[in-house]
Amino acid sequence: MRVFWIILTLVIAGSGALVFKPKADTNAAPAEPVSAQADSLTTDRVPTTPAAIAETAEQNQAPAATESTNDEFRSEVARIEVGEEAPSTPAKTSAEELDSTAEEIAHEKIRQNIVSDSTELPEITADEIIATLDGSNDDSEVTELADAETESVAADTEEAAPNGWELLAEQANDENAEESTEEAPAEAESAGVPAAMTIARNEDGSITIGDTYTITGSGTRENPYMVSWEYMVSLREYYNPREGKKAIPSHIAMFDGSYVSIAGYLQFPLATPEPVECLVMLNQWDGCCIGVPPTPYDAIEVSLSDPASREQKFAVEGRIVGKLKIDPYLVGNWLIGLYLLTDASVDVSGSRTAEEVYGNTPSQLIPGAE
């Protein structure tokens, strides 16, 4: 066993001696790296005489020296003989030259890929370019002008469009001006408004309007005028601002400011515990979807002098006594409201229940009805 280990040790030692044995120096003067040569040229140790430069070149000649290095030495010798100064820019190393060459080759390949010999570029004349530019400029100018005009029109529209309250005030002023002029009858005739009805007072104190309506009472709270819905709705034929009829006839305006009594369907605001206002209407309407929604001619806004009781609040029909005020409420030329009753009281005694009144008229509250 010892013999085996001795032999193995000798083999390893011999192998190591063969591997690490230095080789014979075949080059009498090994060549310096190109970078070292370039550095030697740019330092202060560069020879300045032709003889010294030639001696240095002979010493540095070796099989491994490249042709570019010899060219650099020859160029340096020629510059010194002529008397020129050495260039201040350091010479490029072989690595830098390779990088520069590779970069040029890459650029050339890219140019070949982008534009090949077979690529045909379209021919565009100068006139076509000028015409295209002129057309784009004209289109942009037209677009800018159109946008400016649109903004100007929108601004003028916003400034010129009044809201509903302004229109209402203007309409009220127009009506007052028309009523104070003598041209109102001519305008009424041109708009197709019929002539006002005649007014005749009878010996018993009643008033006959035309040949159709007879109104009793004296216009006080204790003895109000008893008016009918047919008479109140007849104002539609004389007053309709949307159709150009803007004058209230005298046979209806005469009752403005007087106490009147009228029976109809009632609608209170049920969410209010003690309401002080309501609507009295010709047609039944529950405020939503049952019945016929009222119009300004067949409904009167009522302002009560005292809050309504629970019985009055849930009544479906009744009679209202109050001071009549004819006060048109307009939005533009659209009539929203017309009649008002102020300082009013409501009487629901003897009125029917909702089941009894549904689909019927409050005939027992109309004077003279059985």
Q: Both tokens of residue 121?
A: 């570029």
Beta-strand ranges (E) seen in the chain are 199-201, 207-209, 213-215, 225-226, 239-240, 245-246, 259-267, 277-281, 299-304, 317-331, 334-347
Q: 15 versus 38: which is more confidently predicted?
A: 15
Q: Is the pLDDT of residue 296 over 80?
A: yes
Q: Mean pLDDT over residues 171-192, rounded?
A: 54
**pTM to 2 decimals?**
0.48
Question: Strand 334-347 and strand 299-304: pairing?
Answer: parallel
Q: Both tokens of residue 4?
A: 């085996």
Q: 287 versus 333: which is more confidently predicted?
A: 333
Q: Is the pLDDT of residue 65 over 50?
A: no
pLDDT tens digits, 121-132: 556 666 676 666
Q: Mean pLDDT over residues 76-103, rounded?
A: 59
Report the range out of 1-5, 254-258, 360-364 with the highest average pLDDT.
254-258
Gap between the Cα atoms of 297 and 233, Å rounded: 5
> HEC string of 175-203?
HHHHHCCCCHHHHHHHCCCCCCCCEEECC
Asked if 201 contacts 216 with a C-beta cutoff of 8 angstroms, the reply is: no
